[in-house]
Amino acid sequence: MTINSDKKELRLAMLAQLKHNQNKTEKEDSIIHTFINEDVFRNANSIGITMSMDHELDTRWLIEYAVGLGKKVYVPYCDYKTKQMHFVRFTSKEDIVKDSFGIDIMNHQQEVGTQPELLIVPGVIFNEYGYRIGYGGGYYDKFLSQYTGQTVSLIFELQLGEVLIESHDIPVSMLITEKRIIINEDNQ
């Protein structure tokens, strides 16, 4: 077994659990309420955030809320040929389209390459030190290697578990679950 195949097994097991996440809406409400009351959110003028998939914490309300507060919101756009990810300005839900993998993206390239002040980092499994197993493409790992702002992940408590750490992995500074906030001072 290689570390990649071990990560793949852990990822698949967690994705199966997330599809049967009990009381998902209540947990999401708790996580988002905690997050929007944290200084890391209140003080950020610009935020990078994914448009969520069904098994993830639903980010649609949070995106609209941040835009309503006058914050600049940026969502990822992946160039699958060059294996690079950059962020584009979120304009409205009417501008959302699906890419070739069925992932929601903006139908434009406004303000490409922007580095938001706060980045909400997705992932499948996290440990309490902020290390994560993502979806396997390496897009966030590459972006985080050059990112200088603050990072936070909004996750369900059940996503905390075993993570295989590699030398290129960069931990997230703050994890918010429906039960707690975990701050990793070393990652600030």
Domain-embedded: residue 66: yes
Pairwise CA distance, residues 85 & 101, whole Å: 14
Q: Which pair of structure tokens corresponds to residue 12?
A: 């698949």
pTM, entire model: 0.92
Residues 6+ apart with CB under 8 A from 103: 51, 53, 78
Q: Do 180 and 159 touch, CB atoms closer than 8 A? A: no
162 is in an annotated binding site: no
| Domain, as residue range, for 147 | 23-119+137-187
Is 2 inside any structural domain? no
**Domain for residue 171, yes or no?**
yes
Is 142 flagged in the annotation as binding?
Answer: no
The answer to whether 10 is a known ligand-binding residue is: yes
Q: Specify if 158 maps to a domain.
A: yes
Is 134 annotated in a binding site? The answer is yes
Q: Is residue 105 part of a domain?
A: yes
160 marked ligand binding residue = no
- Indicate which CATH number applies to the domain containing 152: 3.40.50.10420
Say how many C-beta atoms besides its own lie within 10 A of residue 22's C-beta. 8
Do the domain assignments include residue 126? no
pLDDT string in tens for the chain (188-residue length)? 566 678 889 999 999 999 999 999 999 999 999 999 999 999 999 999 999 988 899 999 999 999 999 999 999 998 888 888 999 999 999 999 999 888 899 999 888 777 899 999 999 999 999 999 998 888 999 999 999 999 999 999 999 998 989 888 999 999 999 999 999 876 55
Tally of domains in the chain: 1
Q: Is residue 167 part of a domain?
A: yes
11 appears as a binding residue in the annotation: yes
Whether 117 has a binding-site annotation, put simply, is no
**180 annotated ligand-binding residue:** no
64 is annotated as contributing to ligand binding: no
Residue 161 labeled ligand binder: no
The annotation status of 56 as a binding-site residue, yes or no, is yes
Domain contains 13 = no
